A and B are shown apart, each in its own frame.
Chain A
Amino acid sequence: MKLYETTIIYDPSLEETRINEEIERVTQPITAAGGEVIDVQRWGKKKLAYIIRKRRDGTYVHVKHKSPPTLIAEMDRRFRLNESVLRHLSVMAPKDDPRPEAAVAEGGEAGTIATTVPAVVQE
């Protein structure tokens, strides 16, 4: 089981109920394969930076999950067959993600940088 982040861009013309269905179709196989859905974020309709399949907007859904690596390949295959998916991206999520930038008291290479830079953080 590995921690992944999958972002899917759906066709903007899909209705709320269809989106819910689609999310179900993503999350259901994860739990079925013994994984775990950690978080489902709906970013809503966003403007695309460039046109994809003649669409200027897309409905973004971001899913954080623990899945077996084999499932990622299967998910990828299904997304590509799914006409209402404009784009999708699955990446490994960083482990200590719950607190992305607040990790100041962390050891290793991160710590060395933090000590060499004077504390002039404002704004």
Chain B
Amino acid sequence: MAREGESRSFRRKFCKLCLDKVERIDYKDDRRLARFITDRGKIVPRRISGTCARHQSQITEAVKRARILALLPFTSDQYR
């Protein structure tokens, strides 16, 4: 698991989902998806999260579906 942060410049980022061997990201799994959105509700970009291309595209699709079902916010209203 990815418990250590991936902050320092030389530290290589890795895809946490590959590490967990996640085959498919489910839009119903809002707890897992919540890790890939910011506190404003934006999807975290790959350059920040280090997610691989395959998983990132799965994340975006899943987050968008979860938003339709109000499992995840489109935006956080506490910042309005």
Contacts and interface: CB of A to CB of B under 8 A. Distances in A.
A32 interface: no
B23 A103 contact: yes
Contacts, number: 56
B80 to A, nearest CB: 11
B70 A117 contact: no
Interface stretch (A22-30, A74-82, A86-94): A86-94
B46 interface: no
A52 B19 CA distance: 37
A102 to B, nearest CB: 8
A52 B67 CA distance: 12
A101 B24 CA distance: 7
A91 B23 contact: no
Q: Of residues B22, B26, B71, which shows the largest number of chain A Cβ atoms within 10 Å of its Cβ?
A: B71
A119 to B, nearest CB: 8
Nearest to A86: B70
A114 B15 CA distance: 12
Contact of B69 (A87, A100, A110, A123): A87
B4 interface: no
A23 B54 CA distance: 36
Given A7-B69, A50-B70, A100-B24, 11 more contacts: A7-B28, A9-B70, A49-B73, A50-B73, A52-B70, A89-B69, A91-B65, A101-B21, A101-B23, A117-B18, A120-B19
29 contacts: A7-B28, A9-B69, A49-B67, A49-B71, A49-B73, A50-B70, A50-B74, A52-B70, A58-B70, A60-B69, A87-B68, A89-B65, A89-B68, A91-B65, A94-B24, A100-B26, A101-B21, A101-B22, A101-B23, A101-B24, A103-B23, A104-B21, A109-B54, A110-B23, A113-B18, A113-B21, A113-B54, A120-B19, A121-B19
Interface of B: 1, 18-24, 26-28, 54, 65, 67-75, 77
